[in-house]
Structure 1
Amino acid sequence: MSKPQNLSSSGRYLQPDWPAPASVKAFVTTRNGGVSEGSWRSLNLGLRSGDEAEKVIENRALLMHEWALNQIQWLKQVHGADLVQADRECAEAEADACWSDVSERACAVLTADCLPVLFCNRSGTRVAAAHAGWRGLVSGVLENTAAIFDDSPDTLMAWLGPAISQPCFEVGPEVRQAFLAHEPEAESAFVAGQGDRWFADIYTLARQRLKTLGIYDVYGGDYCTVRQEDLFFSYRRDGAKSGRMASVIWLAGTDG
């Protein structure tokens, strides 16, 4: 796969290609530009990935310095549908999504095949980030995240960050059935594999959920964390010693 055009010259970050308001800032880290070693090389941001905590903390400090951020709301993700508001202390919270309406108080989710989804409103006054693996999608993490906006759904936009692509995402019949039970249209996101296996398109599943909510301005969704090994960590490819990327979004130049 070719390198994305929105990759920074340093190779460290991707910036969403979407028409967000000027007050909305966002990026996704790649695996490059950090201090971690071995299978976590090099910008691993996951404290629970098996990497040395000191190196992960240094990696987090590197990205905060580069983007001049003083506060990032990190999460202890559990593949659920709960979300929290980024608070003044930004203490780690157990949730799979977070939101903010305060300038310079960033929201972040960690991924390594699961889908990161960034949200903002057209007025540029509120942002959110969601960690959407298949369990989170089924449980309603996108619906819960969209619900924190006071705006009409058709004035919201979403960006789908790097995730596993359909040819690499083999799942069992229980995964397909969980989606079909919620929305029969989900059938179009699955291609039959061998035996009872299926290949799931997590990007399509997310778009379907967003469309049902009335969110039509959806961007991104053209990466593969498994195949683009030079850019991304992948749990499915590398196993338990995979690092994690961060998808980060915040408001700049406003007070909340």
Structure 2
Amino acid sequence: MSGRGVSAAIHPDWLVPDWELPASWPQVRAFMTTRAGGVSQGRHASMNVGRAVEDDPAAVAANRAHVDEVLGAPAVFLHQIHGADVLELAPMHLQGERPKADASFSTIRGLGCAIQVADCLPVLFVAPGVVGGAHAGWRGLAAGVLENTVHEISRAAGCEASELRAWLGPCIGPQRFEVGAEVLVACGADPASPDPAFFTYRTNERGEDRWLANLPALARQRLQEAGLSHISGGRWCTLSEPSRFFSFRHEPLAGRMVGAITLV
């Protein structure tokens, strides 16, 4: 399957992974959209790629087409269900209903992975000749979506997990992600004495005692335990910057962003 030739320029407000790849690896193109650079209006302004947030379908289609144009390849959007299934992409996945999975990888030049988020953590991966992405909210993390993705990409690339590069995109940050004790339990923490690197306890502005979860730190821990040492990103909070990022907790129907990656 061939690509689409020269890609359009990445919008200056979008995020680009800062990984350093060996010169011998195939080139990749990867980015993470923000709210900027699209055609949607109102609360969806402007780069909304979500179809289930009551946006104008024509605007969503135009925004997704622009993602493909910038990527230089068609990107496969998934029906994400907060699970741990990983899909190996094939051209057939560009047709018909979206495949149900929360991670994907591609070994085909010109066929891109797309991970849709609005507070959950998007993680993009590169290995020799393989790219991938995972949708990692707390449910997906607890279910093992990152470990499964690392395993599948390592297998497809024929390499050790330590060779993979991972980049963490914007998600709800550790000062804003309020959770219940069930999240600690699901992530393997003891609510009586959790590691403060991952969970802290405080009273919020409404006078409620709540746990705060550090989603990027939890993801880094799982990736490191899976064998990765090249991990970057994870510095942006979607809920703290609603003018730049879509945030489900700020406005559930405001819109969705996408992390996209393909082999060039």
TM tier, shorter chain?
A: 0.7 to 0.9
- Match of residue 201, structure 2, among 178, 192, 205: 192
The aligned amino acid for 1:19 is: E
TM-score, structure 1 as length reference: 0.88
Spell out, residue by residue over 1:72-99, the C-alpha distance to the aligned partner (whole angstroms, 9 max, x if none).
1110111111111111132421111100
Spell out, residue by residue over 1:123-158, the C-alpha distance to the aligned partner (whole angstroms, 9 max, x if none).
3x0011000000000000001101112211111110
- Match of residue 33, structure 2, among 21, 26, 29: 29
- Contact 2:71–2:260 (CA under 8 A) maintained in structure 1: no
User: How much has 1:68 moved relative to structure 2?
Assistant: 2.6
2:83 is equivalent to residue 80 of structure 1: yes
Q: What are structure 2's unaligned runs of at least 5 residues?
A: 1-8
Q: 2:120: which partner in 1?
A: 114
Spell out, residue by residue over 1:106-132, the C-alpha distance to the aligned partner (whole angstroms, 9 max, x if none).
0010000100001111x3x00110000
Q: CA 1:213/1:168 → structure 2, altered by over 3 Å: closer, same or farther?
A: same
User: How much has 1:10 moved relative to structure 2?
Assistant: 4.0
In structure 2, distance between residues paired with 1:185 and 1:198: 10
- Contact 2:32–2:258 (CA under 8 A) maintained in structure 1: yes
The aligned amino acid for 1:206 is: A
Q: RMSD over aligned Cα, in angstroms?
A: 1.9
Q: 1:241: which partner in 2?
A: 253
Larger mean Cα displacement after TM superposition, 215-224 or 52-61 = 52-61
Q: Map residues 45-56 of structure 1 onto 2, 5 A cutoff.
A: 45-56=49-60
User: How much has 1:186 moved relative to structure 2?
Assistant: 5.5
Spell out, residue by residue over 1:1-28, the C-alpha distance to the aligned partner (whole angstroms, 9 max, x if none).
xxxxxxx884442111111345121001
Q: 1:159: which partner in 2?
A: 167
Q: Percent identity?
A: 41
Secondary structure of the equivalent of 1:158? strand
The aligned amino acid for 2:199 is: F
User: How much has 1:181 moved relative to structure 2?
Assistant: 5.1
2:82 is equivalent to residue 93 of structure 1: no
- Contact 2:29–2:71 (CA under 8 A) maintained in structure 1: no
Spell out, residue by residue over 1:150-186, the C-alpha distance to the aligned partner (whole angstroms, 9 max, x if none).
211111110000111111100001101211259x985
Q: Map residues 184-223 of structure 1 onto 2, 5 A cutoff.
A: 188-194=197-203, 197-223=210-236
TM-score, structure 2 as length reference: 0.85
In structure 2, distance between residues paired with 1:50 and 1:166: 29
- Contact 1:153–1:215 (CA under 8 A) maintained in structure 2: yes
Q: What are structure 1's unaligned runs of at least 5 residues?
A: 1-7
Q: 1:5: which partner in 2?
A: none
Q: 1:232: which partner in 2?
A: 245
Q: 2:3: which partner in 1?
A: none
In structure 1, distance between residues paired with 2:78 and 2:257: 13
**How many residues align structurally?**
240
